[in-house]
Amino acid sequence: MKRLFTILVLTIATIVTYAQHTVIPVNHMAKSSGDMLVKPESSPSLTKDDVINENFTTWPPVNWEFVNGTESVGTQHWHQEGTTDQYATVLYDNGDGVVHNQDEWMITPEFTVPVNAYLTFMYNSNPYWMVDPNDNADVFVKISTDGTTWTELWNENNAGFEYSVWTEALINLDAYEGQAVQIAFQYVGADACWFYIDNVRVYGLPEFDLEITDARVNFFEILDYHADASDFHYSSHYQRIPLEIVQDNEYAYLAFNAIVINKGYGSGVAQCNVKVTNPLGAEIYNMTSTNDLIIGEMGVDTIDVAYDEGTEFLLENPVIGEYTVEYTVFIESKGSVDPHYISGNTKEILTRTVTFSIDNSVYARDDDNVDDFIGPQYWVGGGTDGDIMTVRYPFFADSHITSVSAYIHPDSDAGNSLLCNVYQYDQGAGEYVAISTSSLRTIEAGDIGTWVTFTFPDPAYITAETEYVITPVLIGFEFYYTAEDSYLWLGCDKSVPSSSWGTIWYMQGGDNANEWYAINNFEGVPMIRMNLFSETEVAQNDVKSAISLYPNPANDVLIIDNASDSHVEISDNIGRTLGTFDINDNNASIDVSAYKPGNYFVKVVGKDQSISVERFSIVR
């Protein structure tokens, strides 16, 4: 197994010529939050004695105190927002466009600070109006032992957060252990933007308090470029994989990562068990890590499973449908292995589940969840006609791409255009080259907020490089705009495990102009997926007949043997039917002189309704 992964790493190093760069995204100037805000999940707290645990599902929260600013009005005060999920909110105006000075206080009930205490909460805002370049307001977290004198614990200016992304704050309260205190959230300023607070908790740390913050499946290739144990390896996750990619593929190995944090005060070795269940409900893999790194208070570790000899997992006999990967973390005690344990309570197993699917023909990194937008205009230097954004997919054998689909984000403007390319790495040229190109498509009003499909007038046929384990292919789009202030975005799915290496860019401007590169602070998956020609989809329940085609490649005539009493269809590389024939003889000749050179498919339907699909080429 180690040898295989070493080969994969060397292969990647040979064929991937782009560099990894950090690129600062364009600042978002919106002063109101987006329409697709998703409330964060509450942290696990089933066995913790929370002193404060408030998620603002009722308003006002019980025994909380509110002090409104003397000039502000209405929604400029702390209030509840959200429909099915609620959170505490301050807005920068009351909907009337009038600027008021704001000084809004939200204060917890009094409580006694326990041993090893922490305050944690989630927050969401826009740094463009709260930090830089417009520091129009500040949010402070303060503590008081008498309800009058307040000491600052936290300020959003120093916390770091992204536009409209829920971020967790964690504040140590050890200095106040045993004292009766109150915590206040103060919003002060004018003409800034929204600020949301949710999942406010104060709790005392147990000895071990493990939590899986993220879990990922690595498909086919592993590249460890991180010295920091708290970060992932190369994460080549695919949410849907065509059957032909994994069928009888000795290189279709999977490996697993789990990022674990210990919020307890103890130190021990954390381990992870991974269990894989196939679509039929059968458990096909169960393995526990052999990690030896000690994780202490607030320590973070990436635990690997299936990276070492004897732990490998090959996806043999794949079944179409959804696979489930369940991760379970625990602390390994001396001489034994025990699940996550909190003194004085029962054992608690912490788990996280990741899924992926084997599909007839769809190859996709995304899971069809539109929770953000992405495009070249998002980045400094982007937004020029001809900028390219691609998603990287690996191939192991020759394949036929029938079409590519992309989700056009609702914030796009009609009238802009996209052109789809399929790129394959040319070892001789030392670069990616376009092997198939669609027509330039103007995005119309009816395309916005939907999946749009692109086909290719020339064959989109992948030829695998036999000397390499993996043949990388980029599926991507060139962006063209009607005007400088016209926007074109694709959907971005942040719900699936991902890596910035899976998205490859080629910009016309900026510091990295005219080169392929990854942006290492990009999170999420562009919603770009391909559709492969699938013999399984055509004939998944049929018996393959014993037909044969020759000559192959053909010139003007194609001969089909053993196809007596059959119906024959010839289709091109994008699935269009070019001709149909009824054959009565075992040896039939078909005139293909009118067809252009390229790759074609013959579908033979026998009198017993058995179906056989064969590929042939025309060369002149």
What pLDDT does 332 receive?
Answer: 81
Residues 6+ positions from 368 with CB-CB distance below 8 Å? 407, 493, 527
pLDDT digits over 547-604, tens only? 788 888 888 999 888 888 888 888 765 556 788 888 888 888 899 999 888 777 787 8
Q: What's the pLDDT band for 501 if we cut at 50, 70, 90?
A: confident
What pLDDT does 189 receive?
Answer: 96
What pLDDT does 603 receive?
Answer: 79
Q: Using a cut of 0.75, tell me whether the model's pTM lies above it.
A: no
What pLDDT does 2 receive?
Answer: 30
| Cα torsion 44, 46, 52, 56: sign | positive
When mean pLDDT is compared across 30-39, 174-183, 310-319, 530-539, the lowest value belongs to: 30-39
In the chain, the domains with their CATH numbers are 50-204 (2.60.120.200), 208-362 (2.60.40.10), 370-532 (2.60.120), 541-618 (2.60.40.3080)
542 has a pLDDT exceeding 50: no
Residues 6+ positions from 534 with CB-CB distance below 8 Å? 242, 243, 244, 360, 361
pLDDT digits over 346-385, tens only? 444 578 899 999 999 999 999 999 999 999 999 988 999 9
pLDDT digits over 120-130, tens only? 999 999 999 99
Q: Which two tokens stand for residue 208?
A: 């071990």
178 has a pLDDT exceeding 90: yes
Q: Where are the beta strands (DSSP E) in 94-136?
A: 102-107, 111-112, 117-125
What pLDDT does 596 receive?
Answer: 85
Q: What's the pLDDT band for 44 if we cut at 50, 70, 90?
A: very low
Q: What's the pLDDT band for 309 if we cut at 50, 70, 90?
A: confident
What is the DSSP code string of 163-192? Answer: BT--EEEEEE-GGGTT-EEEEEEEEEESS-
Most confident of 39-48, 212-221, 330-339: 212-221
